[in-house]
């Protein structure tokens, strides 16, 4: 079997941040909606925090403890938790840092080898996996990476600077021919 393309790389924190950005882009493909969430999440998160904290402060300062107070305290706590969730959701840099901290294969070399009829992913932790091109359901590209998404919802990230065989400039055309998917750019 002749090798068409080969990529050998070790993921860095910047690569995981790029993957988080692509996943966010794919989850919210409409530009106006992304902008609304980027602005709205922090605003509504702060509002929920403020409402919850002010209700709790009011109950504590008045000293009014009745059965309805417990329900009000629970609702206030839910407001605070919802506010925190919205603020964390709007922080893509924080999400990238947390993803990198949880990434178990730091320092491990991954190899992607592309043949005429399939591609293989190899690493020391999980060994070798083979994927037919037809399993690629979509693909994205940013300035430094290609992202391939398979039908099993697995994401394969290829750093353009890590191609050891084949030209990354022709990879999108190769993938379009083999997998019948276009490389959608990520803004």
Q: What is the pLDDT of residue 125?
A: 83
Q: What is the pLDDT of residue 98?
A: 76
Q: Which residues of the chain have pLDDT under 50?
A: none
This prediction's pTM? 0.67
Q: Give the pairing type, strands 136-141 and 183-185.
A: parallel
Structure token digits, residue 32:
């106006």
Q: What is the pLDDT of residue 28?
A: 63
Residues 109 and 62 in one domain: no
Question: Inter-axis angle of helices 92-102 and 13-27, to 10 degrees?
Answer: 130
Q: Which of 48, 73, 101 is the last residue of a domain?
A: 101
- Rg from Cα positions in the chain: 23
Q: What is the pLDDT of residue 29?
A: 54
Q: What is the pLDDT of residue 150?
A: 92
- The label of the residue with tokens 């992913």 reads 121
Residues 142 and 86 in one domain: no
Q: Which of 91, 86, 124 lies closest to 107 in space, CA to CA?
A: 124
Q: Which of 44, 70, 101 is the last residue of a domain?
A: 101
Instruction: Give the CATH number, domain containing residue 169.
Output: 2.30.29
Q: What is the pLDDT of residue 154?
A: 85
Q: What is the pLDDT of residue 116?
A: 93
Residues 90 and 127 in one domain: no
Contact in structure between 163 and 174 (CB atoms under 8 Å): no
CA dist., res. 12 & res. 51, Å (int) = 40
Q: Which domain holds residue 127?
A: 5-23+105-185
Q: What is the pLDDT of residue 30?
A: 61
* Total of domains in the chain: 2
Residues 70 and 115 in one domain: no
Residues 49 and 96 in one domain: yes
Residues 121 and 179 in one domain: yes
């Amino acid at each position: 079997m002749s090798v068409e393309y080969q990529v050998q790389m070790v993921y860095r924190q910047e690569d995981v941040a790029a993957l988080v950005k692509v996943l966010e882009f794919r989850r919210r493909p409409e530009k106006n909606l992304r902008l609304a969430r980027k602005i709205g999440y922090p605003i509504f998160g702060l509002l929920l925090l403020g409402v919850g904290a002010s209700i709790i402060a009011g109950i504590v300062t008045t000293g009014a403890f009745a059965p309805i107070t417990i329900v009000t305290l629970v609702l206030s706590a839910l407001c605070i938790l919802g506010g925190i969730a919205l603020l964390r959701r709007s922080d893509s840099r924080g999400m990238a840092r947390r993803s990198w901290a949880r990434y178990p294969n730091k320092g491990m070399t991954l190899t992607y080898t592309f043949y005429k009829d399939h591609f293989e992913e190899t690493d020391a932790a999980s060994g070798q996996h083979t994927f037919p091109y037809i399993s690629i359901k979509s693909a994205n590209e940013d300035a430094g990476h290609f992202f391939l998404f398979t039908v099993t919802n697995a994401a394969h990230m290829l750093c353009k600077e890590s191609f050891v065989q084949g030209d990354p400039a022709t990879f999108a055309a190769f993938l379009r021919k083999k997998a019948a998917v276009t490389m959608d750019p990520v803004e």
